[in-house]
Amino acid sequence: MNKLGKAIFLDRDGVINHDPGDYTTCLAEFTLLPTVVNSLKILHDAGYALILITNQGGIAKGLYGHAEVAEIHAHFRQLCADSGVQITDIFYSPHHPDYGESLSRKPGSLMIEKACAKHGIDPKKSWMVGDKTRDLEAGASAGVEGILLPVNGDLSKILDQLISCPTKAQIMGDTLQWQADKHETFLVNGKLTDETALPNPIRNRGFRYADGFFETIRVVHGKAQHVELHFSRLTDSIRAHQMDHPESLTLDRFTESLQALCSANQIQAGGRIRMTFFRDGGGRYTPETKSVFWVAEAEALEHNVFEINEQGLHVDLYTDMKKTKGPLSNFKNLAATIYVQSAIWASNQELDDALISNEQFQVIESSRSNLFLVSNGVLYTPGLESGPVGGVMRAAIINVALANEYKVYECNLTPQEMLRADELFLTNAIRGIQWVASYRTKRYFNTTSRTLVNQLNATLLS
């Protein structure tokens, strides 16, 4: 029994050993990260019990078995023992949500609670170290504060926080709440890092040729929303830009990376994530590679859930440029000249937004949003074949409307049809729904848009 009553709970893959991006299925794939043993020795000598808390869902998937996990853990224990480090215990969950629910699997806290009970650990004197938000959520549910490392990060870099930044009881009793220093954290190709690892702002194809695209994702309750829709669109965007989809960019890893980014930037309510994808490598107009490089950043927003604008927007049709339909029309391309110029025009005209038309004089979107008309309780939105961005919020609103028994039609819209509509509202991933008060001499209501905002909020992850 640990008489000091304090422990360091550690995730395994990505904290103790190299995380290959999928599963560590056997001993041959198990590689300790360089500073781990020495860091554990320092923590051990400081009086901490060392306990592994790891999800091993590959067992449920049939990728490996308990024997392989036991062999890896025996090897790890021996490597530590050779350096005078005792691993107090190892807990692992063999479950996976695709094959059944389990309270032991992180973000569930059962493994940590069992460890505390078995070894007399005081959660308030202990830490949880992980590379995913679910690790920290598991710790928080058991009363253990957490520190988020980058995937395959350097454990030695947080030793001062674990040891020098003392336990709560030593300084201020049970009221002290430790928080990490707030530094902006980014995702670079799926790995958490600071600004020192960001790509060169000049020598990349995104800057030089606008050879790429971007995604903006809304965060509510600290969680990225509509992730599957965003992942589907970015997959289509990669294909349309004739790039190769990274093998490591799976839906599961994408989701976990976004949550880790929010956690690292301490976004617990509303927020915005911007992801920029561009072709890696050099070349001029003819690229040298199809590889993708991507960066994500996150910022907190004032509002948590979507809120309807109290003052309706005033808009008009921008006519200086028209959007050309093509194979990239439906994506959020880095080449955004028409959106920038139309937004400048709207500002100069003291308007809230500018509507954009295609070469067939059909109104297709605004400088920053998709477009919906409401007439006699029926929703109409420009079809993707007319050239608008295939907005994630556009898709979400269509789904919400259909689920609530609205009729929705995707069709071509003209300026004359806008003048006959009862309502006009704009949608995008960050703002949700914004109702329009006027287009030229036409004035609009907002009954449907207000109802849809409430129905949209009811579908969000919490």
Report the distance separating Cα 12 and Cα 155, nearest Å. 12
Question: How is residue 147 annotated by DSSP?
Answer: E
Query: Is the link from the previous residue into 327 a cis peptide, with omega within 30 of 0?
Result: no
The three-point CA angle 332-337-342 to 5° equals 100
Q: Rounded to whole angstroms, how far apart are CA atoms 208 and 203? A: 7
Active site residues: 11, 13
Could you give the CA distance from residue 141 to residue 109 in angstroms, rounded to a whole number? 6
CA–CA distance, 271 with 372 (Å, rounded to integer): 25
Give the separation between CA 25 and CA 145, rounded to whole angstroms. 30
Burial 56-88 (b: 16+ CB within 10 A, else e): bbbbbeebbeeebbeebbeebeebbeeeebebb
Specify which residues 91 forms β-bridges with: 53
Residues 6 or more apart whose Cβ sits within 8 Å of residue 293? 189, 199, 204, 277, 278, 279, 280
Q: For the chain, give me the number of helices (H) and strands (E)?
A: 13, 20
CA distances from 314 to 80, 224, 307 (A): 67, 30, 18
Please spell the DSSP secondary structure of 145-192, one letter per residue.
EEEEPPTT--GGGGHHHHHTS--HHHHTGGG----------EEETTEE
Collapse the DSSP code of 376 into the 3-class scheme (helix H, G, I; strand E, B; otherwise coil) and give the result: coil
Closest CA relative to residue 259, chosen from 107, 113, 144: 107
Q: Locate tokens 């994808």: which residue?
A: 277
Amino acid (one-letter) located at 251: L
The span from the CA of 199 to the CA of 186, in Å, is 11
Cα distance between residue 68 and residue 62, in whole Å: 12
Cα 232 vs. chain centroid, distance in angstroms? 14
| CA distances from residue 431 to 115, 219, 255, 312 in whole angstroms, order as listed | 44, 11, 21, 14
